Structure 1
Amino acid sequence: MTGGKAESIVTAAFLVIGDEILSGRTKDKNIGFVADYMTSLGIDLKEVRVVADIKEDIVEAVNALRQRYDYVFTSGGIGPTHDDITAESVAAAFKVPLNLDPRAVAILESHYARGQFTDARKRMARIPEGADLIENKVSKAPGFRIGNVHVMAGVPSIMQAMMDAVAPTLKTGTRMLSETVSADMPESRIAERLAAIQDAHPNTLIGSYPKATDGKFTTQIVIRARDEAVLSAAAKDVSQAVTEISG
């Protein structure tokens, strides 16, 4: 897919790979970033999965997600250690060989001092056959893109740099607009009206988010739509409902 603007909805999934995330030893910082980043591009992040460093599980997740969504982004498991198995798992998902890639080897050879490009580090130059490289301006070891799957590092600063490199190549849709209405009441008081407003405005997404402060419950109502006029009409109805219920 090439970069550019499209009027259709573009979807994505994010696959987080690593035992350290599931054990709690490492706290994920990438999911929120990717969600914000996709929203800013006009891509709908529809699903996030976290899987362990188990080849069969990674293969299953990659194949399921790449068939369901326009794009899949992964983080984690492309480092130099024995348990970094994402590259070989993605190669298995696409049923292609995993080899030392001359382009990746050249990048890493020029980055490390003589004698420092060890066998362990050469693992980071293994790329599935037919994949394109994703530039890594932080630590040089490249990610890669094969089909609609983008494989990136787990370290947040590196993953974010790779996402910046990938962004110009992505097809994007119409960005989602949003408007927030504050309600000085628990969400239970306005839930029925919000359901009716949602039914009346099917091209919107309406979410209510309760908050308790010093024992007092309030609600933030967020209306989202891709069309400004549609958004405005739904937000007006929500505001009217809040006013009427408040008395």
Structure 2
Amino acid sequence: MDDATPQTVTAAFLVIGDEILSGRTKDKNIGYIADFLTMSGIDLMEVRVVPDIEDRIVEAVNALRGRYDYVFTSGGIGPTHDDITADSIAKAFGVAIDHDPRAMAILAAHYPPGEFTEARQRMARIPLGADLIENKVSKAPGFRIGNVHVMAGVPSIMQAMLDAIAPTLRTGRKIVSRTVDADIPESRIADALRQIQADNPDVIIGSYPRTNDGRFSTQVVLRSREPDRLVPVAAAVEAAVAAAVAAAQAARG
């Protein structure tokens, strides 16, 4: 890794759409983009869901783009009257919006003669100064302006757009993980984990309780950008688990 590469690159994800908030559509994009960004070495720090209300979209975009390296949005760039994301992004950046000749050409070539309707032409309205994001699925492009990437809400299309922009993204050092399985309830090792975390602030420690046929166990996940740091911390967790198991067995006599 080049020394000039930053330690961390941060991002936020903005989900836009009344249908998500009402429950009519079940979001499938948050988990996907979280995995995508983690694998790319980009830390997803915040997710917001906002309705199809221009002022709410503008407010969220301006707050997030000033706080994080990247903002990714999904939803609201289709052909219908309530697809207002493109206009809202233009307002957030204080730029004009109109039918983009590049987008018009892409869509005109895609639809059969007579089927590139006025409604479909709405999908070619792009804020001034934005770059297009390729859409290999349905051709209607997304766009990038500043550090904001505007993508479709349909999962297959959003995923294709992510693949298209992946080579353009600046990435940080990737987080690696290690898992310790503990055949003991989380409460038995909570104090020990708290102390290990305090002693090793550069390693993120997460504990996740599980049940199997009424039996409680815990999965401890260690995360760090320094792979070598996981070894001693994992050893400390394993020792704490072993001590807790021994204490439980002694208590049972």
- What TM-score bracket applies, with the shorter chain setting the length? over 0.9
Q: Distance in 2 between matches of 1:20 and 1:145?
A: 24
Which ranges in structure 1 are unaligned for 5 or more consecutive residues? none
Q: Which residue of 2 aligns with 1:238?
A: 237
> Matches of residues 1-247 of structure 1 in structure 2 within 5 Å?
6-247=5-246
Look up the SS of the partner of 2:76 in the other structure. Answer: coil
Look up the SS of the partner of 1:171 in the other structure. Answer: coil
The structure with the largest alpha-carbon Rg is: 2
TM-score computed with the length of structure 2 as normaliser: 0.95
Measured on the aligned residues, the alpha-carbon RMSD in Å equals 0.9
Q: Which amino acid aligns with 2:112?
A: A
Q: Distance in 2 between matches of 1:96 and 1:219?
A: 52
Q: Distance in 2 between matches of 1:33 and 1:227?
A: 25
Kindly state the Cα deviation for residue 7 of structure 1 after the two structures are TM-superposed.
Answer: 3.8
Q: Distance in 2 between matches of 1:58 and 1:232?
A: 44
| Bigger relative contact order (CA 8 A; separation at least 6) | 1
TM-score computed with the length of structure 1 as normaliser: 0.97
Look up the SS of the partner of 2:57 in the other structure. Answer: helix
Q: After TM superposition, where is structure 1 displaced by more than 2 Å over at least 4 residues in a row?
A: none
Any idea what the Cα deviations from partners look like across 1:185-243, whole Å, max 9, x if unmatched? 11111111111101111111000000112211110000000101111121111111111
Which ranges in structure 2 are unaligned for 5 or more consecutive residues? 247-253
Kindly state the Cα deviation for residue 176 of structure 1 after the two structures are TM-superposed.
Answer: 0.3
Q: Distance in 2 between matches of 1:89 and 1:209?
A: 40
Identity %: 68
Q: Distance in 1 between matches of 2:145 and 2:64?
A: 14
Aligned length: 243
